[in-house]
Structure 1
Amino acid sequence: MKKLLTIAIPTYNRANYVEEKLVWLSEALKGFESDCEIIIADNCSTDHTQEIVEKYQDKFTSTPFTYKRQEKNLGVMLNVAYCFDTATSEYVWVIGDDDPIRVDAIAYIIENVTKHPEISLIFLNFSCRFIPTGEILYERSYHIQQDELRKDGRAIFEHNFKTNNSSVGFMTAQVYRTDSAQTALHKWYSGLDNREAQVYWTAYCALQGSILTSKENYVENAFGVSHWMRDPKLLLAMQYTDLPSVYIKLMELGYPSNYCLGLLISHFFKNNWRVFFGGLRRHPKLAIAVIIPYLKLVTSAVWRMLVPPQSVASRFSNN
C-alpha cells in the first residue's frame, strides 16, 4: 500500500541545515511515521552532510528513509527532479533545507489529503523573512479568512501568480499529487535548465484537481541566503530568460494567451531593472546577450496583444 506523503530534502554543503530539518522531522512525524517516507538528495556535498544523515537515520526506523548521495553535483534542478522522480507516495513535498516549518505542518497535510483525496495541489501559506537583516518582508502570502478548498485550479493559479509570482515558485510552500508532479516534470524535461521550472510544474498540477490553500502560515521563506541571489550571472538568466520562458510555456498548458502575454508585458514594466544594470556593469557581453531576446519577446507580446491573430487573418481574408 502506498504511503501518503513523501518529504524530500535536496541539499548541498549545508550539513547544519540538514541537521535542523532532521530534528524537525523527528518531532513532526510523531503519529504519522507509517504514513510517510523521507528522501535526502545530497548533491555530492563536500562537507559533513553524510555524517549528519547517518547520525539521525536510525531515529526513523518506522519510516522508509532514503539517503542518496549523487556521484557528482547535478545542479539544483536535477537534484530536485530526483526527489520528485524517486517519490513513491500519493503526495510529494520537496522542502528547502533552510526554510523554517511548523511542527504541525505534516499533520495538516496528512489530515487534508486523507479527507479530500481529490486534492492535486496544496498551497501552504507562508511569511517571508530577509535573513541578512531579519526583516519580515511580508506576513502572509495568501490573505484568506479560512482554509480554501476549490475546484477551479486554473483560476486560483492565475490569481496567485499574477498577484505574487514568488508564491507559486516557492518550493517549500507547495505539496503536489505525486503522479501529477512527475508528469509535469517529464512533460517539459528540458525545463530543468530553467530555474523557474517549478512555476510550470505548479501550473500543471493546478489543472489536475482541487487546490487547498491554508489560512495559517506553516512555512517561512528564508529569503536572501540562496547562492543564486549573490550570483549576477544567474540572476540575469532567471530574470530575463527563465521566467519569461515560463510565461510562454503556460500557454501550452491551456492558460489564456492574453493572460500569459500580459504577464510578460507586466514583467517588463514592474521588474527590478537593477538586476540588468548591475549585470551590465559586471558582465556587459552576457547582459546584452540576455536582454536582446528578452526585448524581442516583450515586443512580440505587445504586438500580439494589440493585433490578435484572428484580426490579422480577417484582414487578409477581406483583401
Structure 2
Amino acid sequence: MSKLLTIAIPTYNRAAMLDAQLSWLSTELQGHEHQCEIVVSDNCSTDRTPEIIEAWRKRFEGRITFKPRRHGQNIGGMANIVYTIEQATSTFVWSLGDDDPIQRHAVPYILEKINDHPDLSLILLNGYGKDYNTNKILTERWFDSTSDKPMRNSVSDFEVFLEKHMGGVLFISSSVYRTKLVHRAFETWPDSPRNLAAQAYWVAYCAARGSFIVTPTLFTECAMGIGFTDKDPKWTFNIVFRAIPEVYLRLMRSGYSKRFCYEMLLRNVKSFGAWQLLGGSLRRWPLYSLQGFVYYVRGLVVGACLFATKSGTAEAIERAS
C-alpha cells in the first residue's frame, strides 16, 4: 500500500544534527510507521554522517521504511534537495532540513490534514527563525496565519504569501508538497536546482493546483547562520538580482497574475535597499555584480514582454499542468 508521507532529508557534514533529527523522527513516528517513510540523501559527507545513517538504518529496520542514499560527489545543496524529494513515492513529501528543530506532533497534524482534505496540494508549516550561534530570535513568525482552513482561491491567496513572506516560502522545512505536483514542477523547470530561490517556484506551483494550508501553529524553527547559503558572501546579491526575479518570470508563465509578478520584478528598481546592495556588491565584485545586474535588467525586459501578452490565469495553469 502506498505511504501517505515521505520525510525527505538532504544532508551534508552535519552528522550530530542529522542524528538528532532522526532521533526526533523515531519518536514522532510512533503509531504512524505504516503511513510514513524516511529518505536521507547524503551529499558525499566527509564526517561521520555515513556511520550515523547506517546506525539508524539498523534501528529502523522492520519498523520504519528508511531509504538512505549517498552521492559519489557533492552535487550542490539545491540539487540534493531536489534529488531527495524525487525519491518520494508517497502521496505527500515533506522537505525537512537536517538542522531544523521541529515541534512535537507535527507529523500527526500533517497526516490528519492530508486525510481530511482530498484536494490539498500544499501545507506550509509556520515557524520562526533563530540565530544558531546566539540563540537570538531573528524572525518571530514566518506567516501571518490565524486559521488552518484550506485556502481555495489558490493563486490570489498565495500571491499574498509571496509578497509578504518570501523568507518562509524559501525555508526548506516549511514545505509539505503533494508529490506528483512537486515532481511536475521539477519537470516544468529542469534547471531549477541552479536557482537558490527555486523552492518559491515549487511551492507556488503546487499551491496553484489545489487548496493549500498555512498553519497558525509554529511547528518549525529555522537554524539561521549554519546553512550552505549562509556561507556564501554573494548569496544576498544572487537572491535579490538573479534568483527571485527568475522565479517571478517562471510564475508569469505558470498561471500567476502577470501584473503581480511584474510588480514584484520591479521591486529592485523601487527599493533603496536594493540599490545599496548593488552598490556594495559592485565595490566588492565589480564584474560579477555588473553581470548580475545586466541579467536582472534582461529579466525586466522579458517580464515586460510577458506582461504585454494577455492570458487568462485558469488557462495558463491548465497549460502548465
**TM-score if structure 1 supplies the norm length?**
0.90
- CA distance in 1 between counterparts of 2:66 and 2:298 reads 48
SS at match of 1:120: strand
1:177-192 matches, cutoff 5 A: 177-192=178-193
Code of the aligned partner of 1:20: A
Query: Residue 160 of structure 2 aligns with which residue?
Result: 159
**Residue 290 (structure 2) aligned to one of 288, 291, 303:** 288
Worse overlay, 193-202 or 261-270: 261-270
The share of aligned pairs that are identical, in percent, is 37
Q: Are the structure 2 counterparts of residues 20 and 185 from structure 1 closer, same or farther at C-alpha, using a change threshold of 3 Å?
A: same
The within-5 A match list for 1:41-56 is 41-56=41-56
Task: Write the distance in 2 (CA, Å) between the matches of 1:296 and 1:69.
Answer: 38
Match of 2:319 in 1: none
Larger-gyration structure (1/2):
1
Matches within 5 A, 1:251-262: 251-262=252-263
Q: Quickly say closer, same or farther: Cα 1:272–1:134, change in 2 above 3 A.
A: farther
Task: Report deviation, 1:232.
Answer: 2.3
Cα distance change of structure 1 residues 279 and 109 upon mapping to structure 2, 3 Å threshold: same
Q: How far, CA to CA, are the matches of 2:214 and 2:306 in structure 1?
A: 34
User: What are the within-5 Å matches in structure 2 for residues 53-64 of structure 1?
Assistant: 53-61=53-61, 62-64=63-65
Residues 232, 278 of structure 1: 8 Å contact kept: no
C-alpha deviation, 1:72, in angstroms: 0.9
1:12 counterpart letter in structure 2: Y
Letter in 2 for 1:295: V
CA distance in 1: counterparts of 2:136 and 2:305, whole angstroms: 41
Amino acid at match of 1:292: V
Distance 1:154 1:86 in 2: 28
**Pairwise CA RMSD:** 2.0
Cα distance in structure 2, aligned partners of 1:37 and 1:301: 41
> Deviations 1:170-227 (Å, cap 9, x if unpaired)?
1211100000010001110112211111111111101111111211111012222223
Alpha-carbon distance in structure 1 between the residues aligned to 2:300 and 2:253: 18
Distance in 1 separating the partners of 2:240 and 2:87: 30
Greater alpha carbon shift after TM alignment, 239-248 vs 131-140? 131-140
Per the TM alignment, residue 163 of structure 1 is displaced from its structure 2 partner at its CA by: 1.0
Deviation of 1:309 after TM superposition, in Å, equals: 6.2
Q: For 1:201 and 1:176, how far apart are their aligned partners in 2?
A: 9
**C-alpha separation in 2, matches of 1:175 and 1:18:** 19
Gaps of at least 5 residues in structure 2 are 311-321
Cα deviation for residue 16 of structure 1 reads 1.3
Deviation at 1:242, TM superposition (A): 1.1
What residue ranges of structure 1 are gaps of 5+ in the alignment? Answer: 311-319
What per-residue deviation string (whole Å, max 9, x for no partner) do you get for residues 120-178 of structure 1? 10011111123233221232222233322121111221010111111222121110000
What is the aligned partner in structure 2 of residue 74 from structure 1? 75
Q: Take 1:184 and 1:50, find their aligned partners in 2: how far apart are those partners?
A: 30
Counterpart AA for 1:98: D
Contact 2:2-2:91 at 8 Å conserved across structures: yes
- Residues 238-317 of structure 1 aligned to structure 2 (within 5 Å): 238-270=239-271, 271-298=273-300, 308=308
Cα distance in structure 2, aligned partners of 1:160 and 1:296: 26
CA contact (8 A) 1:93 1:172 kept: yes
For 1:260 and 1:70, the matched residues in 2 are separated by 36
Cα gap change, 1:143 to 1:228, in 2 (>3 Å):
closer
Does structure 2 conserve the Cα–Cα contact (< 8 Å) formed by 1:265 and 1:301? no
Q: Is the 8 A contact 2:143 2:165 kept in 1?
A: no
Determine the structure 2 residue equivalent to 1:128. 129
Contact 1:161/1:167 (<8 A) preserved: no
TM alignment of 1:91-130, pairs within 5 A: 91-130=92-131
The answer to whether the 8 A contact 1:232-1:279 is kept is no
Contact 1:121/1:177 (<8 A) preserved:
yes
Amino acid at match of 2:143: Y
